[in-house]
Structure 1
Amino acid sequence: MTADSIGFSLLLLGLFLVIGKWIRIGTPLLQDLFLPSSLVAGLIALFLGPEIFGKLIGVNVFPDFVLDTWSFLPGLMINIVFAALFIGKKIPNIKSVWELAGPQVILGYIISFGQYAIGLLLSIFILSPIFGTNPMAGALIEIGFVGGHGTAAGLRDTFDEVGFAEGADLAIGLATVGVLGGVLIGIALINWGIRKKKLTNVIKTLDRSALEKKGLIELDTREPAGFISTRTESIEPLSLHLGYICIAVLMGYGLLQGLIWIEHITWGTMTGVYLLKYVPLFPLAMVGGIIIQLVLEKSDRYSTVDRDIINRIQGLALDILIVSALATLSLTVIGENFYSFLILSLGGILWTLFAFIYLAPKLIPDYWFERGIGDFGQSMGVTATGLLLMRVTDPDNKTPALESFGYKQLLFELFVGGGLFTAASIPLIFQFGPMTVFIITLVITLISILCGFKLYGKK
């Protein structure tokens, strides 16, 4: 692989992003489904790739080096996405976070660890004995649904190292099911909530302008993408913010290598059990981002970090990640494991629906629908889906839904949805077996339910 081939592959990826955007602008169905342009672009690239169009005409549209380059990108971009999660955000104390977002943190843990428990239960008693599926498939619901395309693609190297290479493609497929299901089922739930008077405020369900549906902003209402905090003759602001993210990734790498070394000289050598060497970099990059933010809060008296610019860098990395992950998805793997894929999809959807319809009203003291629909969306199709559904139910932010949802991420994404436990779940099953991890996740789910009813049920 040469520098020219890598450069050409990136240029081609940019072309697909633009094509995806313009197709979305001209396709009302895609607008109504709230599908991001990167997802559209990735599906187009997948269609033109060797899995579909290539098989039909017998010739690969893309050179092999393009697909090879694209296959490496998700594992790199996921580190940028997670390193940027908390940089530029004021990190409040745990007490403040818990007072507002505690019920949603608990509900999020119930759904996520419940997805592990349901997936492993299906894997142990149905998928493995009947279809011969690798028992590690039990972790794919949470990885695909809550973690999303980014986490699923970012764990590809981990799947390869534990001998479950097909797991990455199945997880990416589940992530696509989660995004589509999160939007379609979420909108159906909102309409149900309106009819049953579950919502506190009367809302305009889908009263969007034509430009909003196309994903465009009125010319006279456009805001800057970020505020310039440094003079360009000193350093380009974008470069400075990218530098902060790079430092966070480097810190995460140092932390990960340090933990691997500690594991090697302690319990690894004594027991032969190694977990940390299978853990990917991105959750530690997130920890590095938290450290960077804490340092900046104390030392950056000039306030050089602008969260909007960080968001733009993070968004670019996520777009690249989604397109490249979908473009290199193996439909053959999904076809070979179709029944396992279908059962995991249905199991994840039914559990998440149960948690929203039955548990959310009992655990969230006020505005349960507006707040719970965000957790449902995130648990089906990542954070963006949750934000989308909350915007539909509470477009003017008249409830604490958005604020509590934002605070929730501080205690939620550190562990699940791409956090530390998500990254460690596959190594844990690999080392200790699916039954052990099933018992652990089931116990955590039950304890979370009991704590939720104890703390918030009476309210």
Structure 2
Amino acid sequence: MTPDQIGFAFIILGFFLIIGKWIRVFSPLLQQLFLPSSIIAGLLALLAGPEVLGAIAETIFSADHALADGLIPPNVIEVWSALPGLLISIVFASLFLGTTLPSLKKVWFTGGPQVAMGQMVSWGQYVIGILLVLLILTPFFGTNPLAGALIEISFVGGHGTAAGLGDTFADLGFAEGQDLAVGLATIGILGGVIIGIILINWGARTGRAPYVGGKATFSSKGRNGIVELNNRYSSGEMTTRPESVDPLSLHFAYVGLAIGIGWVLLEALVWLEDATYGGQTDVYLFEYVPLFPLAMVGGIIVQGFSDKFDKFRVIDKGMIDRIGGFSLDVLIVSALATISVSVIGENIVAFLSLAAVGVAWNVIAFLFLAPKMIPAYWFERGIGDFGQATGIAATGLLLMKVADPETDTPAFEGFGYKQVLFEPFVGGGLVTAASMPLIFQFGAVPFFIGALIITLFWMIFGMLYFGRK
């Protein structure tokens, strides 16, 4: 691919993103679903590309027809296919940059119940996923045992994690898993919002969600995603003078530094593994682990040094969020646009089964376990955990905003603190990235046993320790 082709691919991607945004602005249904414009844009690009429009044209006419590749040139699809694996490291490196790291004591005191809840649900997704694969999907449909990890990768990790693990899927001989994972991530966001809103309505009617605030919550002026002209706010602070260095350039450099530290850490782990047990046992894990969870660790290290030594506080959270937000939007559009629909069709039973049991587990955990594990405001706090467990952290924040629009409960604070002890491990963290290599090296059964033990630990610990407070 040439530089011109790469530039043209970004222009086409931006075109779809603009179209997706304005479709959302004028679509009440999509507004009620709170569906991000990037997902709309990605689905439009998928429909216009070779997998849908191109396949239809090839079936009706011939493989030489002008529309056999859809409306998107093959070189654009080639560029888009490479973007998720690159951008996911930027997204994860940005997670903790610009945020003063709280003490672990404060994190545990405020967010501990949600840490226990989130860990239990995430590890439980491995349990039910592997159980489904071992008992049904592999024996009867020949599904790869690695598919047992897809629910947690897709639901909690989201599109970014699912797409970012592309090289790992390929290295482990499960290339079709990436398409299934991205598709499941889309189902997760849609299911999380729709089912979450249903649960909130049920909670409001039964008195379990007293802070909902009636129908006004669902008709906020910002539902179309446009900030009113007289309510607009800054997207970041100018922490450096542009004649010295543009603040956006400096913040992008800090993100790059975090990714660089993550790369050094990953290379060190690969070398250490090879020098110790790897060379003796021929068991290798870290060579299959992608860069992005270590990039997140790099971000934590950079922020820790900034908190201690940078008296000027030049890292601004708003600016970092814009870098991460841009990267995530481009990632989602490119990942969805390059899904292989034929792969999902060939594995439709596994796809639908994993989606169904994943959603069912999340609903059961929220309705029956959250009240026993979260001592106060269980609905408002638990609905955030449900949203994140089904469709990434943004869905959890959205559902909490609907359930607690005036922030009358500690749900938002606890949810934020939860991420400090949650994201580094599951939901796109080290465990998520290592789950498939672990299954590949040791087998699905040992991983299932370990996940079951950890799930039961967090469940019992949450009930007996936090539930009694």
TM-score, length-normalised on structure 1? 0.99
Deviates more, 1:334-343 or 1:449-458: 449-458
Judged with a 3 Å threshold, the aligned counterparts in structure 2 of structure 1 residues 246 and 190 are, in CA distance, closer, same or farther, namely same
- For 2:396 and 2:156, how far apart are their aligned partners in 1? 10
Report how far residue 340 of structure 1 moved.
0.8
Counterpart pick for 1:64 among 74, 77, 91: 74
Shift >2 Å, 4+ stretches: 204-211
Q: Could you say what secondary structure the match of 2:174 adopts?
A: coil
Contact 2:238 2:247 in 1 (8 A): yes
> In the TM superposition, what are the counterparts of 1:13-92 in structure 2 within 5 Å?
13-58=13-58, 59-60=68-69, 61-92=71-102
Could you tell me how far 1:195 is from its partner in structure 2? 1.0
The residue number in structure 2 matching 1:266 is: 276
Q: Which amino acid aligns with 1:10?
A: F
Instruction: Establish whether residue 438 from structure 1 lines up as the match of residue 448 from structure 2.
Output: yes
Q: Find the residue that maps to 1:88 and give its secondary structure.
A: coil
Q: Spell out the pairing of 1:65-214 with structure 2 (5 A cutoff).
A: 65-205=75-215, 207-209=217-219, 211-214=221-224
For residues 271 and 206 of structure 1, do their structure 2 counterparts lie closer, same or farther at Cα, with a shift above 3 Å needed?
farther
Q: What does the per-residue CA deviation read over 1:101-128, in whole Å, with 9 as the maximum and x for residues that have no partner?
A: 0010000011000000000000111000
User: Where in structure 2 are there 5+ consecutive unaligned residues?
Assistant: 59-67
- How far residue 200 of structure 1 moved from its aligned partner, in angstroms, is 3.7
How far residue 230 of structure 1 moved from its aligned partner, in angstroms, is 0.6
The one-letter code sitting in structure 2 at the alignment partner of 1:368 is W
Q: How does 1:303-318 map to 2 (within 5 A)?
A: 303-318=313-328
Paired position in structure 2 for 1:458: 468
Whole-angstrom CA distance in 1 between matches of 2:284 and 2:184: 28
Q: Distance in 2 between matches of 1:136 and 1:434?
A: 8
CA RMSD of aligned residues (A): 1.0
Residues 330-350 of structure 1 show CA distances to partners (whole Å, capped at 9, x for unaligned) of: 111110000111111111011
> What does 1:189-338 align with in structure 2 at a 5 Å threshold?
189-205=199-215, 207-209=217-219, 211-338=221-348
TM-score, normalized by length of structure 2?
0.97
Displacement of 1:92 in angstroms is: 1.1
Residue 391 (str. 1) matches residue 397 (str. 2): no
Deviations 1:402-425 (A, max 9, x none): 000000000000100000000000
Cα deviation, 1:299-340, whole Å, max 9, x if unaligned, reads 111111110111111100000000000000011111000011
**Residue type matched to 1:45 in 2?**
A
- Structure 1 gaps of 5+ residues are none
Give me the whole-angstrom Cα distance separating, in 2, the residues matched to 1:328 and 1:96: 42
Task: Tell whether the 8 Å contact from 2:179 to 2:343 is kept in structure 1 after alignment.
Answer: yes
Equivalence for 1:5? 5
Structure 1 residues 205 and 403: alpha-carbon distance in aligned structure 2, compared to 1, 3 A threshold: farther
Number of equivalent positions: 459
Deviations 1:189-241 (A, max 9, x none): 00000111002425134535574121111111111111101110001111111
Question: Structure 2 CA distance, aligned partners of 1:452 and 1:72?
Answer: 41
Match of 1:415 in 2: 425
Q: What is the CA–CA distance in structure 2 between the aligned matches of 1:88 and 1:135, rounded to whole Å? A: 40
Cα 1:205–1:438 change in 2 (3 A) is farther
* Preserved contact between residue 163 and residue 182 of structure 2 (Cα < 8 Å): yes
**Counterpart amino acid of 2:39?**
L
Q: Is the 8 A contact 2:204 2:210 kept in 1?
A: no
Give 3-state SS (helix, strand or coil) of 2:50's partner: coil
The aligned amino acid for 1:81 is: V
